[in-house]
């Protein structure tokens, strides 16, 4: 089930995020990058604040959260997908597609949002292309928790 995130989900969001980096993105990044990228402490407060401020969807299966899509508004006409990570247990089954469609519908229904941006991982670039996003510039290095991560700027016009 895809639903809005709640305070009780924070630990499982954190677990799914780490598993997704270590077991899914690891095929496209070096082990040093994966180690740095996935070395963040659990913070319940961080996610509760984020849920109040932004739009956070989770995917729940068998009473456990297996991933999230975190997005928000950056100005009057633009939204951004900040983070989208599914656990390796549930990827490749169409759940990502359902979550991105739900997120895009949320922004479209707001009427004023015209563009949705994101910085794609190498891992997710083909997924976003299938969802209608296009690459808007060359791959670049994003500083992330002490390491540099190759990302690709992409956007979709609603």
Ligand X SMILES: CC(C)(COP(=O)(O)OP(=O)(O)OC[C@H]1O[C@@H](n2cnc3c(N)ncnc32)[C@H](O)[C@@H]1OP(=O)(O)O)[C@@H](O)C(=O)NCCC(=O)NCCS
Q: Tell me which residues touch ligand X (CB under 6 A).
A: 20, 24-25, 84-86, 91-97, 118, 120-121, 123-124, 126-127, 130
Buried b (16+ CB within 10 A) or exposed e, 15-49: bbbbbbbeebbbeebeeebbbbbbeeeeeeeebee
> In terms of CB distance, is 24 or 79 closer to ligand X?
24
How many CB atoms are closer than 10 A to CB 61?
Answer: 14
DSSP element (H, E) containing 86: strand 78-86
Task: Answer for the pair 139, 151: CB distance below 8 angstroms, yes or no.
Answer: yes
Task: Answer for the pair 93, 73: CB distance below 8 angstroms, yes or no.
Answer: no
Collapsed DSSP state (helix, strand, coil) of residue 30: coil
> In terms of CB distance, is 37 or 113 closer to ligand X?
37
Closest approach of Cβ 132 to ligand X, in Å?
11
> In terms of CB distance, is 113 or 124 closer to ligand X?
124
Phi, psi of 156, rounded to the nearest 5 degrees? -135, 135
> In terms of CB distance, is 10 or 20 closer to ligand X?
20
Residue whose C-beta lies closest to ligand X: 96
Closest approach of Cβ 111 to ligand X, in Å?
26
Closest approach of Cβ 59 to ligand X, in Å?
8
> In terms of CB distance, is 93 or 111 closer to ligand X?
93
Closest approach of Cβ 101 to ligand X, in Å?
9
Question: Which one, of 118, 52, 57, 123, lies nearest residue 88 by Cα?
Answer: 123
Closest approach of Cβ 47 to ligand X, in Å?
17
């Amino acid at each position: 089930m895809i639903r809005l995130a709640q305070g009780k989900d924070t630990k499982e969001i954190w677990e799914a995020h780490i598993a997704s980096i270590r077991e899914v993105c690891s095929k496209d990044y070096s082990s040093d990058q994966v180690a740095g990228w996935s070395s963040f402490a659990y913070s319940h407060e961080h996610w509760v604040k984020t849920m109040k401020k932004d739009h956070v969807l989770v995917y729940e299966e068998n009473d456990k959260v297996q991933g999230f899509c975190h997005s928000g508004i950056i100005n009057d006409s633009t939204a951004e997908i900040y983070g989208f990570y599914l656990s390796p247990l549930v990827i490749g089954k169409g759940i990502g597609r359902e979550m991105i469609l739900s997120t895009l519908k949320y922004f479209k229904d707001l009427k004023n949002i015209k563009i949705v941006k994101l910085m794609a991982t190498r891992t997710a670039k083909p997924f976003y292309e299938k969802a209608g996003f296009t690459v808007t510039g060359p791959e670049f290095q994003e500083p992330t928790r002490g390491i540099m991560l190759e990302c690709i700027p992409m956007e979709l016009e609603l």
